[in-house]
Structure 1
Amino acid sequence: MRTILTTVGTSLLNNAKRDLKGEEVNEHGLANYLRRTDPERASAETNSLSRILQEGDRIIFLHSQTEEGKLCAQALERHYRSRDHDVELREVPDLTYAERRFKMRGLRSLVATMIELIRRERQHGREVLINATGGFKAEIAYATLVGLLFDVPVYYIHEAFRDVIQMPPAPIGWDYSLLADHEEFFEWIASDLRETADVDAWLRGLPEEVREEVRLLLVEEEGYTFLSPAGEAFYEAYKERLQQAEGVPVHLSSKARATYERVGPEIARRFARALNKLRVRELRISQSDRVRNSDCLVFPRGHCGERVFYFEDGEAIYVCELARHSDRSYERLIACGVRREAYRDFQRWEGR
């Protein structure tokens, strides 16, 4: 069974006003217009749905927080319910088309709403598609970004060819290194409304080039800074990737377990973060290094307080040592050498 998330614009209303000269254009009038008009002509939404809709498909119409958007969505709901489709309407908070509010809050709400619905429908065992033909071009762009990040096929009507174009899920692994390296910052800024002064104070502690990369995922409004629509999409996709990787088995050697159990709660929490990230294949590829005097890989690379010596065998990850720079244990291990054959008694780590 499939669910089609469909963004709604106002082409239905505009087309009806053009064609129904002198007639009142209300929900009832729009429903009649839909019933007697070729779907390819009636609206952007019906045009694209006429090409991808199948029997048994569920449709969720996402509309703006405007009277025009709501009117179009209600007419579309009525039309497709009469054709025995399960239909849901979802108003997107702050999607009002007041320029600044649309740019800052509305698009972020659209991204968050789409991600919520993708997760919900997948939990119910439904295949999710995005029909991104209706609405402004910015809405279509961010709907497409969500589809790419969450492995959802995206459909839209190409203006030049007037045919439906499918953008399949991207067969690539996204680079989440920036989010992984600064996970605590992104957790912090996503969890509440943050004053720009506080955000700036946090970012001042980062190297300039990293600070600029992070700022690309942020927006500022009225003294507050928060994730941009793209930042929201990337951060939620990163969290999704961590969740998907929870089942990857991680085994700790007796020495690694002893270290994990010996350190205090805060350091143990930092090691747990590193081990959870280690489960994500894309992060292992992008953030692991080979070091001298060891046949293990070290994760993560770069300036990080906690380091993990590990190797892979099949689908499992085996951690030989957990080390830190603050107590010089990392440097001591490099000097002495870390060789796989020296480690035994691996047990599965069940931490989160």
Structure 2
Amino acid sequence: MKNISKGGIFLIDTLITTVGASLSRSKYLNENFSFSDILSIEDPANDRDLGAEINSTVSIIEDGKIDERRNLYLVHSATESGRKISTFLKHFFEDHPEYSFQRVVTVEVEGLDNSDQFTFRTKGLRNLIREFTKIYTNHGNIAINATAGFKAQTSFALIFGFMMKVPVYYRYESFSKAMEIPPLPVNFEFSHWIENKDVFDLLEFGELTYDECLKAKNTDKSSFDNTINNLRMFLDIETIEGEKYIALNPIGELYVFATRTQLNETARQISLAESSVPIDKRFISNESEEHSKKFINKHWSDLRKIIELPFIEKIITSGYSDKFDRHRITAKKIEDGKLKIQFSRKGGELYMVAETTAKNDLELAYVISVIEGCNI
């Protein structure tokens, strides 16, 4: 939930600080210093032995970039060094008389360990994005201090900040304070989402084999391969012991989260024109086979929820299969701004083409979310 000041400005009350290894060489961590001595250091923003995390975080606080110090998240690697340093930082920012936060949380990122390149790339960076999204979802009013950590960790913190429109700070070693990285003009390309939402939905919760994806997408191999090639920037594709696996890469994870967030935030601003077609004239069935008629009759009350949506102009059935056993509704954009709807229930699946009053990709993305929300 975003906390807004009277002036309409979002107040920053939560800071994410990425954690690196600079403190591992610090005399304060390795020699016999009491913690009370460390907390009494006069200029923690510029004492290099306190490490990049403290130097940069304190300078952000001193520069007035944090409105309320409610939450500090110390995001660290899955290493002994990362755990040790984060524990030290947690005590510092819990107990310091001037720079403390109300709540300090250490967050270990599973797989973020540079001793295993494959795990680091396929799991560590993906989990890093997931931890950022959890924090953003819980608080909203965040800033990111991306000074410390692996270079890839810093890079993805920057990308996350740009896409989610939150400030990102970085302190160069020679600078006297942290600076805000100017945001890039990152715009959402909703066409990827509305044309391939079924693939994103499949992979959102974990990797699948190629054959599992192909079966779930219910299409031919050539079309599926073409889809995967078009989405290559969002995917990790690996062959392990002769089996091909497909998963969202870190950018894919962020794209899915950012798109859902953007849709939720803009949904209140979307005002679709209402259809002028009477409800009883909107549904046209081309299915003459008895088993498809039975399926439509059996599930008519659920189908009618879609037909009655105020933006529906026309729904025409285009096919039916009795080889399906899931309870779901999916929709995706096809040609001329139309939607292909797959209405699935135990024992069958009905294919339909829908025309709506949506005029652009953002409105179509909203329409898709509403249609799929009828699956109750």
Q: In structure 2, what is the equivalent of residue 231 of structure 1?
A: 252
1:85 paired residue number: 101
Q: Match of 1:241?
A: 262
Say if 1:73 and 1:21 are closer, same or farther in 2 by CA, change over 3 A. Answer: closer
TM-score by length of 2: 0.64
Equivalent of residue 252 in structure 1, options 267, 274, 286? 274
Supply the distance in 2 between the matched residues of 1:31 and 1:218 (Cα, whole angstroms). 49
TM-superposed deviation, 1:288: 12
User: What residue in structure 2 maps to residue 206 of structure 1?
Assistant: 223
**How far 1:208 moved relative to its partner?**
6.4
Q: 1:39 corresponds to which letter in structure 2?
A: A
- Structure 1: 5+ residue stretches without partners: 277-286, 290-297, 323-348
Q: Distance in 2 between matches of 1:249 and 1:21?
A: 58
In structure 1, which of residues 87, 93, 96 is the aligned counterpart of residue 113 of structure 2? 96
CA distance in 1: counterparts of 2:52 and 2:338, whole angstroms: 47
Contact 2:109 2:124 in 1 (8 A): yes
Residue pairs, 1:12-23, within 5 angstroms: 12-14=23-25, 16=26, 19=27, 23=31
Q: CA deviation at 1:22?
A: 7.6
Q: Percent identity at matched positions?
A: 23
Matches of 1:62 and 1:272, distance apart in 2: 47
* Residues 1:66 and 1:272: Cα distance change in structure 2 (over 3 Å): farther
Within 2, Cα distance between the matches of 1:145 and 1:160? 24
- Separation in 2 of the partners of 1:199 and 1:162? 51
Indicate if the aligned counterparts of 1:151 and 1:170 stay in contact, CA closer than 8 A. Answer: no
Whole-angstrom CA distance in 1 between matches of 2:356 and 2:29: 71
CA contact 2:279–2:308 (8 Å) conserved in 1: no
TM-score (norm 1): 0.68
CA, structure 1 residues 192+170, in 2 after alignment: closer, same or farther (shift >3 Å)?
A: same
Residue 39, structure 1, aligned to residue 39, structure 2: no
Retained in 2: the 8 A contact 1:64–1:95?
yes
Deviations 1:7-31 (A, max 9, x none): 11111112x1xx469836xxx7788
Alignment of 1:192-203 (within 5 A): 192-199=206-213
Instruction: State yes or no: 1:299 paired with 2:337.
Output: yes
**Aligned: 1:165 with 2:187:** no
SS of aligned partner of 2:180: strand
Contact 1:13 1:30 in 2 (8 A): no
Q: Which residue does the alignment assign to 2:167?
A: 153
For 1:183, the equivalent position in structure 2 comes to: 197
How many residues align structurally? 290
Letter of the 1:138 partner, please give it. A
Secondary structure, counterpart of 1:152 in structure 2: coil
Question: Hey, what's the Cα distance between the residues in 2 that align with 1:74 and 1:109?
Answer: 20
Kept in 1: contact 2:279–2:307 (CA 8 A):
no
String of CA shifts for 1:251-306, please: whole Å, max 9, x gaps.
42231744656676798798899x79xxxxxxxxxx999xxxxxxxx63699x954
Report the Cα distance in structure 2 between the residues aligned to 1:238 and 1:77, rounded to whole angstroms.
Answer: 33
Match in the other structure for 1:279? none
Secondary structure at 2:23 match in 1: helix
Deviation at 1:61, TM superposition (A): 0.7
> Which SS does the other structure have where 1:255 is aligned?
coil
* 2:79 alignment partner in structure 1: 66
Secondary structure of 1:90's aligned partner: strand
Cα distance between partner residues in 2 of 1:156 and 1:91: 21
Q: What's the RMSD between the two structures over aligned residues?
A: 4.1
